[in-house]
Amino acid sequence: MTPASARNPRGGAARNEVRRSEVPQWSRGSDGASARNPRGGAARDEVRRSEVPQWSRGGDGASARNLRRTERGAGTVLAMVVVLVVVAVLWAAGALAAGVTARRSAAAAADLAALAVAQNAAHGTVDPCSAGQRVADANGGQLVDCVVMGHDAEVVVEVAVADGPFAWVPDGRRRARAGPSRVVP
């Protein structure tokens, strides 16, 4: 066996070696070999933490195995964050789709109601706006405003967003104008 100074210039055991005198007698058999380490000396698991030099445990005394234990579950947290982001994006897309659908329904109902009001005004009906109200109701809307100027009609129709998680989305409100065509000289 080489002297200690030949293995480690600072003296003492090399970094990965433990002196035989530092290993408790109970961990060695009568010939110095343990049941788990037939070459003699201490088995890797049998070395007490206090017998391992401080520089091999890290600055604060935590071993690499303990550091790995603190990272357990980090993948689960990351996966949950990803799932929450996906759910938030899908929810926002649903709210946007509900608003767009309400506005398009309101535009269609307003166009049809304006045509009905203009047609009834051209035929001389006493209350042409009541026809516009019926058409707006049939298309899922509510006639908010109706103005008749001669044979021209201008209406405002509002369609409510369906009740549920997107009830906070503003209702779709659209304006439409209809009347007979005019020939410009």
For residue 138, what pLDDT is reported? 93
pLDDT tens-digit profile, the chain (185 residues): 555 545 555 555 555 555 555 555 555 555 555 555 555 555 555 555 555 555 555 555 555 556 556 677 778 889 999 999 999 999 988 888 888 888 899 999 999 999 999 998 888 888 899 999 999 999 999 999 999 988 889 999 999 887 777 777 778 889 999 987 765 55
Parse the chain into domains and list their residue ranges: 18-70, 74-178
CA atoms of 167 and 163, how far apart (whole Å): 5
**CB-CB contact of 156 with 173 (8 Å):** yes
For residue 63, what pLDDT is reported? 58
For residue 162, what pLDDT is reported? 75
